[in-house]
Amino acid sequence: MSFYYGDEKISFTRLARKSESSKVLIKVHPDCQVVALAPEAASRDSVLSAVKKRGRWIYQQLSEFKTQLADYQPRQFVSGESHYYLGKQYLLKVIEDSEAKQSVKLLRGSIEVTVRSKSQDKVSGLLKDWYRLRAKETFSKRLDAVLEQALWVEERPPMRVLTMQTQWGSCSPNGRITLNPYLVKAPRECIDYVILHELCHIAEHNHSERFYRLMGQVMPNWESTKERLDQMAGKLFL
């Protein structure tokens, strides 16, 4: 579906909203994908009307994300590139050694990748595996740390790490939390924000007043933290 905001044509995807809420939930993702989550019973016109009412906000979000994406070039996975880990910037150093064990090491100011033969796919693959391993370790520790604040959660929820193109995290109806391994590139405060966001969904699966009240209780500065994470998205998703 699409509509015009001024001279700008904005396209969006309509998806079914599983909750009982009758409201249309609108999301603008870092890759500039616009999604409208609407009840299945909602008419096409009512969904379009709801999205148009948020036209200005959608346009502003798209403009910000487009600016971010324009500033970043696709990774080449060669020495000298900038890569992130826990909010800090590191220089990539690729070492070719035909007899060495292929590995990734985090050093002071750099991420060192050793390969038997230089290949963009090989360096990229080793880095992805390294980020995923670090993500599992980091997310597990942060989940344990923030659970002390989530008093409504009776048991430690199951957690998995899964690469997603447009989301940092999600929470299933049965309480399983899924986190994007790219999130480990963000500052710890941003990681805590995403985990707390998903923990709040265990109590309230919708973005209701109760949900935002819970977020405000466990992380009073969550809005500024979310904005910080959104601004970094273009760098972290690469």
- Give, for all 238 residues of the chain, the pLDDT tens digit: 999 998 889 999 998 887 677 789 999 887 788 999 999 889 999 999 999 999 999 999 888 877 766 556 677 888 999 899 999 999 999 999 998 899 999 998 999 999 998 899 999 999 999 999 999 999 999 999 999 999 999 999 999 999 987 789 999 888 999 999 999 999 999 999 999 999 999 998 888 888 899 999 999 999 999 988 988 887 787 6
Q: What are the CA-CA distances from residue 52 to residues 25, 48, 101, 193 (Å)?
A: 12, 6, 56, 29
Q: pTM surpassing 0.85? A: no
pLDDT of residue 168: 92
Q: What angle do CA 139, 143, 148 make, to 5 degrees?
A: 160
Distance separating alpha carbons of residues 236 and 83, to the nearest angstrom: 8
Residues 141 and 204 in one domain: yes
Residues 214 and 96 in one domain: yes
Residues 125 and 193 in one domain: yes
Residues 50 and 109 in one domain: no
Position 77 in a domain: no
Position 11 in a domain: yes
- Per the structure, how many domains does the chain have? 2
Last residue in a domain, options 71, 92, 126: 71
**Chain position carrying tokens 């391994």:** 181
Distance separating alpha carbons of residues 201 and 153, to the nearest angstrom: 10
Q: What angle do CA 159, 163, 164 make, to 5 degrees?
A: 105
Last residue in a domain, options 71, 93, 114: 71
Distance separating alpha carbons of residues 69 and 64, to the nearest angstrom: 9
Residues 64 and 129 in one domain: no
pLDDT of residue 235: 77
pLDDT of residue 87: 93
Distance separating alpha carbons of residues 121 and 66, to the nearest angstrom: 27
Distance separating alpha carbons of residues 234 and 231, to the nearest angstrom: 7
pLDDT of residue 71: 59
Residues 115 and 211 in one domain: yes
pLDDT of residue 208: 82
**Longest pairwise C-alpha distance within the chain:** 64
pLDDT of residue 234: 74
Element (H, E) at 190: helix 188-203
Structural domain that includes position 161:
82-236
pLDDT of residue 75: 77
